Amino acid sequence: MERITKADDRVHRPAGPWTPTVHRLLAHLHEQGFVAAPEPIALGDTLETVSFVPGVAGEYPWTEDVASEAALVTSARMLRHYHDAAATFPLDDTVDVWSQAHRAPVETVVHGDFAPYNCVYDGIAAVGLIDFDTAHPGPRVWDVASAVYRFAPFTTGLDEGRAAPTLEARLARAAEFCRAYGLDDVSRSRVAETMVSSLVALVTLMETEAAAGNPKFISDLQHGHADLYRADVAYLEDHLDEIAAAVA
């Protein structure tokens, strides 16, 4: 399997059947003034080349900057700007290939994995968005729900040595993300249930791909990722009413 490598101001990444469509999306984003995404540079049979987005990705364990309220707010605003720019991407089912199926209602091209580890930060400010392999047409709330799950965070598997935030703290961050994004009332009413749906879909994808022999997903299952997401689904289901009330 090809690895992601960086040379000067360029990043070389494995390409898939969806990469030509993603490159058209990235070019469109820059045309619309959304410069937080990588620029497409070249596309080969197995590798793509895009521009390097300078900054620090929000990998785990989080730094104090990435865990800050300012990072959460600027990430939410960046997601809104991305969605607004992607909403004008000219969809064409005769040429478009996406790694995931369309989700109704189609309101924009969602990122598909909006999380701190796919955001790039300059201190406490989100300045970049990377890894568009999972982009696909869908509703804005699909990305917002995924982001709320990751940024609150509503996970039971925190890094070793990191104290778990209280439910109240998680709810406050969830509400702040939705406010900073400017999510409409109808979508807010769907955030909690969409978080559950997205995790169930992720577990199904992992198990399907692992059964088909995909080494990445086989490794994910062996490392207990599916079990973690199932535990998170149970946690979310226990607190659906509180989450729905907080983000309303």
Residue-wise pLDDT tens digits, 37-72: 999 999 999 999 999 999 999 998 999 999 999 999
Task: Evaluate if residue 1 carries a pLDDT over 50.
Answer: no
Mean pLDDT on 208-237: 94
- Range scoring the smallest mean pLDDT among 44-48, 101-105, 159-163, 230-234: 159-163
Residue 56 lies in a domain: no
Residue 9 lies in a domain: yes
pLDDT grade for 163, boundaries at 50, 70 and 90: low
pLDDT grade for 2, boundaries at 50, 70 and 90: low
Residue 168 has what pLDDT? Answer: 96
SS3 of the chain: the string is: CCCCEEECCEEEEECCCCHHHHHHHHHHHHHCCCCCCCCEEEECCCEEEEECCCCEECCCCCCCCCCCHHHHHHHHHHHHHHHHHHCCCCCCCCCCCCCCCCCCCCCEEECCCCCHHHEEEECCEEEEECCCCCCEEECHHHHHHHHHHHHCCCCCCCCCCCCCCCHHHHHHHHHHHHHHHCCCHHHHCCHHHHHHHHHHHHHHHHHHHHHCCCHHHHHHHHCCHHHHHHHHHHHHHHCHHHHHHHHC
Residue 136 lies in a domain: no
Residues belonging to the chain: 248
- Range scoring the smallest mean pLDDT among 2-11, 90-99, 210-219: 2-11
Residue 164 has what pLDDT? Answer: 77
Residue 27 has what pLDDT? Answer: 98
**pLDDT (tens digit, 9 = 90+) per residue, 197-219?**
999 999 999 999 999 998 989 99
Domain span including residue 24: 5-51
**pLDDT (tens digit, 9 = 90+) per residue, 67-87?**
999 999 999 999 999 999 999
Residue 33 lies in a domain: yes
Residue 38 lies in a domain: yes
Residue 30 lies in a domain: yes
- Based on the structure, what is the number of domains in the chain? 1
**pLDDT (tens digit, 9 = 90+) per residue, 9-25?**
999 999 999 999 999 99
Helices 191-211 and 140-151: angle between axes, nearest 10 degrees = 90
Q: What is the mean pLDDT of the chain?
A: 95
Residue 109 lies in a domain: no
Residue 23 lies in a domain: yes
Residue 8 has what pLDDT? Answer: 86
